[in-house]
Amino acid sequence: MRVSVRSMILKPRRLVSSFSRIFSTHSKIEMSNLEEAKKLAAYAAIDNHVQSGNVVGIGSGSTVVYAVERLAQRVQTEKLKISCVPTSFQARQLIIKHNLKLSDLDITPSLNVCIDGADEVDSNLNLIKGGGGCLLQEKIVASCAKQLIIIADFTKNSCKLGDQYKKGIPIEVVPTAYVPIKRKLESRFTGEIDLRMAINKAGPVVTDNGNFILDWKNFDQTLNWENVNQQLISIPGVLCTGLFVNMAKKAYYGMADGLVKVQE
């Protein structure tokens, strides 16, 4: 859009409105690209890793929406026989919405594959998960699957954890222990430990399992994540961490150019 000098001087309100439209359109294009990238990754993973007779773990998050969409399409067109185990309330609702067979770990404790998203993936396939607060159930379901396949857009692919994702490593804790756990973490590690607070609610975020989440921010990126994870879960009251180390078999990233990058 071309804006004349005269309109800039004489009609500042109109100018602001014009630029607002430009920025709004640009933002919509970027969001559209990200959504398309998520869809590409999700469809590729479902097509490559799910077959008839499988029990599939369904993860949480915005990219998983497209994975369930693709599963439903394949069930409809290919008559796949699959069962789905959710990792969260959101995942359960997606399974029901798309008329897929709902199962749980009591009925099917062994899964063929778990398809899930991630907040960040490093060069060694270490993950940060739990930005949506479902880390405990996600880790349980993933641990019951023969393979964990990650789906994400290109913004989640990093060299080191913390390069791009700045909201911290989630740590799910028993509510009555969050203060002593916070103090122990602050004395043991560098960085900041914050109790995750709810939006539009007076108080902290409460997980599907009734627990609190501490977010560990500005951590040392050179740490050995396997050792760190072991240290964290050894603290009484810590139920789970958002560090998924040595768990993912492969990651699919939808790229901005319309291709899919595979990391394994």
Report the catalytic residues: 138
The whole-angstrom separation of Cα 222 and Cα 121 is 15
- For 136, phi and psi rounded to 5 degrees? -65, -50
Name all contacts of 30-34 with Cβ < 8 Å and 24+ positions apart: 33/256, 34/153, 34/155
The C-alpha angle with vertex 70 and arms to 69 and 75, in degrees rounded to 5, equals 100
Asked whether the beta carbons of 209 and 137 are under 8 A apart, the reply is yes
Q: Residue 240: CA atoms inside 13 Å, Cβ hemisphere, count?
A: 22
The whole-angstrom separation of Cα 86 and Cα 69 is 14
Q: What order do you get walking across the sheet with 212-217 strand by strand?
A: 192-195, 212-217, 169-173, 238-241
Helices (H), the chain: 5-10, 12-49, 62-78, 89-97, 135-143, 178-188, 225-233
Asked whether the beta carbons of 131 and 95 are under 8 A apart, the reply is no
- For 40, phi and psi rounded to 5 degrees? -60, -45
